[in-house]
Amino acid sequence: MTAMHDENAIDALGHRIREREARCGVIGLGYVGLPLALELARAGFRTVGIDVDTTKIERLRNGRSYVVDVRDAEIAELVASGQFTATAEFSALAELDTINICVPTPLRKTKDPDLAYVVAAVNEIQRGLRRGQLVILESTTYPGTTEEVVLPALEASGLRVGRDFCLAFSPERIDPGNPQYNTRNIPKVVGGVTERCTAHARALYEACVERVIPVSSPRVAEMVKLLENTFRSVNIGLVNELAQMSNALGIDVWEVIEAAKTKPFGFMPFYPGPGLGGHCIPIDPFYLSWKAKMNGFEPRFIELAGHINESMPRFVVEKITEALNQRRKSVRDARIHVLGVAYKPGVNDVRESPALNVMRLLHAKGAVLSYSDPYIAAIRDEELTLDAIPPDDRCLDGADCVVILTNHPDFDYAHVARRAGLIVDTRNALQGIAGGEVVRL
């Protein structure tokens, strides 16, 4: 009788999803969780967003966004209609039919995975877990996390996966600041612990995204995300090493790339820079590397790329030092103005930003630093305490060296080239623009 009742609970879940009657929840309202919650709400689901940051909750309740890809009006409309609500109370979980976990998965200083946020979210879910619920992990992690960490914690409730509740993994693939691809039109990979888990997770995503790709297991889905970002890390590592090599050989690496990408097959252009930043590419390969080592495999290729990418901030500082020396100026006491500190163009995120690493190295050498960034109003960490200033004539004229570290489209690069006497351009932002002395990677 109990088994029949449990089966009916799972069937009822599928029905509620298909009919848009399911009550949906998203834990973690960052650049991944907030857009997903809004898409679920727009699809007709009553959606609750949960986050421990009460400042975020207050902003959302007032219809205000803190994510560059989400407009205030989108939030205000869904809040006013009652389709979307935000709370810091995890007690709301017990009333939900579907729960997506979109919390951070950083690395420890030892570069081991830190699943503390995931474990905390799962423990909150487990306290109120009931029959007929669907739980989906979206946080990037190593293959095996869903079945080795999340599943045992949920089944500690006495309920069983595939019989009482559903569990799946679907990697987030958001590219913050990308005007072309968003939560709705990026294909969604999903792998459930059982076939029914996959089917229900697929149905939920098909209600709010354009294309869903089911795979055979959570491990495959977890590996998909790591392959995608390790692919980028390794190729960026390759081109960063080529940039250093080209510098030693007196070759313009940017010209080499432009010529190489004319080949219509067998080549994909990647570009050098001051290093890797953001929530994914500098971190995800180490999740894969850690898991590989736990299983007796030495991922030498992946780790070498990581070391090369991590060396780029120091290489940039060497370029700045050399450029200043050519002008009989030392780094110590040099007035160096940085353009762009976010980890990529068009975003208000400095997580793992290589620009900060470059600035810390310059600060340690005694440079007098200032910066401009339309998305980052202030830098506050153990080494740097700075407020953004506009890149006006006074700022540019007074700098011994201007360093372009993040090529925000908001900057007037022609004006920068006209006013600054010495520019170290790590992004090739000044290509084709005449002006002062420009030193490229």
Q: What is the mean pLDDT of the chain?
A: 95
The amino acid that residue 358 corresponds to is V
174 lies in the same domain as 262: no
Q: Are 243 and 272 in contact (CB under 8 A)?
A: yes
260 lies in the same domain as 204: no
Give a yes or no: residue 226 inside a domain.
Answer: no
- pLDDT bracket for residue 143 (50, 70, 90): very high
269 lies in the same domain as 210: no
Of 184, 216, 248, the residue at which a domain comes to its end is: 216
Give a yes or no: residue 395 inside a domain.
Answer: yes
284 lies in the same domain as 251: yes
206 lies in the same domain as 244: no
Give a yes or no: residue 329 inside a domain.
Answer: yes
pLDDT of residue 112: 85
The DSSP string of 388-414 is: -----HHHHHH-SEEEE-S--TTS-HH
Give a yes or no: residue 222 inside a domain.
Answer: no
Closest CA to 424 of 334, 323, 349, 328: 323
117 lies in the same domain as 253: no
434 lies in the same domain as 406: yes
pLDDT of residue 6: 55
198 lies in the same domain as 265: no
CA–CA dist 146, 137 (Å, integer): 7
- pLDDT bracket for residue 3 (50, 70, 90): very low
Alpha helices in 19-150 (DSSP H): 33-42, 54-61, 72-81, 116-128, 145
The amino acid that residue 10 corresponds to is I
204 lies in the same domain as 293: no
Domain containing 287: what range?
232-440
Closest CA to 233 of 162, 296, 306, 183: 306
Closest CA to 26 of 229, 199, 204: 204
Active-site residue, from 24, 197, 280, 395: 280
128 lies in the same domain as 252: no
260 lies in the same domain as 347: yes
What mean pLDDT comes out for the span 189-194? 98
Of 185, 216, 247, the residue at which a domain comes to its end is: 216
DSSP 8-class letter at 66? -
* pLDDT at 2 > cutoff 60: no
Give a yes or no: residue 227 inside a domain.
Answer: no
The tally of domains found in the chain comes to 2
Give a yes or no: residue 358 inside a domain.
Answer: yes
**pLDDT over 90, % of the chain:** 88
419 lies in the same domain as 303: yes
pLDDT tens digits, 274-296: 999 887 888 888 888 989 998 99
Give a yes or no: residue 223 inside a domain.
Answer: no
CATH of residue 28's domain is 3.40.50.720
Of 162, 188, 216, the residue at which a domain comes to its end is: 216
Give a yes or no: residue 278 inside a domain.
Answer: yes
Catalytic residue flag (residue 280): yes
pTM of the model: 0.92
